[in-house]
Amino acid sequence: MRILHTSDLHLGRSFHGRSLFREQEAWARELVAVCEAQEVGAVIMAGDIYDQASPRTDVIDQFSRLLTRLRDLDVEVVLTSGNHDSAARLGFASNLLETAGVHFRTRIEDIDRPVRLADGTLVYGIPYLDPRSSAAVLGTGPTHHEVLSAAVERARDDRLRQPHHTAVIVAHCFASGAEGTDSERILDTGNLGVVSADIFDGFDYAALGHLHGRQAIRDTVRYSGSPLPFSFSEANHRKGYWLLDTSAETLQIEAGEWTKAVDLACISGELEDLLSSEDVAWAENCLCQVTLTDRRRPAHPMERLRDRFPETLELKFSGLEATERDTYASRMARAQSPAEACAAFYEQVRGRELDTREHEEITSAVAEAERLRAAGDMDSPSGEEGHA
């Protein structure tokens, strides 16, 4: 049998405020196509099915359609809850769905109850376990390593009673030796959320979720990564999946890549160069992170960038001149007129000098204010009321 390992769908997620619904729909179609072309018999989804504990109804419908299409191909689905999911909501009607070939593992009570696939492969699904709420149930200390170790031990005890079957364990965690990205939710501070990969010894394969980069911690302990990128730190990722083949004497593992990607671009340079250079033309249809290296902050940079790169989502600055020797207070002290004081205030707030048009508007506004004040002084018999 061929088994496809994926994880971290994060259905319903946005990228810097931009919806990924359309891209996730395209990925779902590709998953079905890959399963059909590769004659996949089962799909493992290792947690974080949804991006939020209470997903929108259209996102739930999206996932329902995906499950239906997979079952139409007679593909069994084994999935666990991740730290983004609500285990109770995700596991609703799990007993009923199991009779239809969709196997949810969202409860501690089901850890040692494997899904037996058509070829006899045993799949043990461990949901994401919050240490504080799970420790008492598992009879261990309230740390990620202790809680997950105890859960895996329960699955291992059952696996030892069936040693002649291929055994796969599914978990959602941060294993030591793995590389994270900017888009994962931190499980705990100070590396307290990290677990040792040793705890998966005794299983033929550990299908892990949580980290969004596809990687192998060991030959048989692997992250599939997320199907789509969720941060610019993933711009160089090659998103894909792992395909397991249980038909040989030893488990065969090969990599596959998704083609329905989100194109990201991280570009940098001075604003005028980025707006004119052909070297960055490739980024015009990408979701862009732009770092400007101008020594002075240019006027209206985001608006101008979006003329060429419509989906510029993040703007950063580097190389701006230091202003420690020229503080706001010193600029105000040097101001020789109200217009110069306004210009100093604008530069402090906006981080750049007035352009020519803005300078003319400030000068005109100050002149008009002085004219009105002078007119008020003339209207006052003694001049005192006007000064007040």
- Residues whose CB is less than 8 angstroms from the CB of residue 162 and which lie 6 or more positions away in sequence, other chains included: 122
Q: What residues pair up with 209 in beta bridges, in sequence order?
A: 172
What one-character-per-residue DSSP string does 91-113 give?
Answer: TTTHHHHHTTTEEEE-SGGGTTS
pLDDT, tens only, 215-246:
999 999 999 999 999 999 999 999 999 999 99
Q: Please name the residue ranges forming H helices in 207-297.
A: 271-276
Secondary structure (3-state) at 112? coil
Interatomic CA distance for residues 98 and 211, integer angstroms: 27
The amino acid occupying position 124 is Y
Distances from the Cα of 378 to the Cαs of 198, 338, 368, in angstroms? Answer: 88, 21, 15
Q: Is residue 351 pLDDT above 80, yes or no?
A: no
Assigned CATH topology for domain 2-257: Purple Acid Phosphatase; chain A, domain 2 (3.60.21)
What is the rounded average pLDDT of the residues 104-121?
Answer: 96
Q: Is residue 107 pLDDT above 80, yes or no?
A: yes
pLDDT, tens only, 47-57:
999 999 999 99
Asked whether the beta carbons of 45 and 7 are under 8 A apart, the reply is yes
pLDDT, tens only, 273-285:
999 999 999 999 9
- Residues whose CB is less than 8 angstroms from the CB of residue 85 and which lie 6 or more positions away in sequence, other chains included: 47, 48, 49, 50, 53, 106, 128
Predicted confidence at residue 388, as pLDDT, reads 39
Phi, psi of 65, rounded to the nearest 5 degrees: -65, -40
What is the reported pTM?
0.80
C-alpha closest to that of 202 among 167, 172, 177:
167
What is the rounded average pLDDT of the residues 313-342?
Answer: 72
Interatomic CA distance for residues 49 and 312, integer angstroms: 28
C-alpha closest to that of 203 among 150, 143, 153, 134:
153
Q: Is residue 97 pLDDT above 50, yes or no?
A: yes
pLDDT, tens only, 130-149:
999 999 999 999 999 999 99
Confidence label for 379 from pLDDT (cuts 50, 70 and 90): low
Predicted confidence at residue 187, as pLDDT, reads 76
pLDDT, tens only, 9-67:
999 999 999 999 999 999 999 999 999 999 999 999 999 999 999 999 999 999 999 99
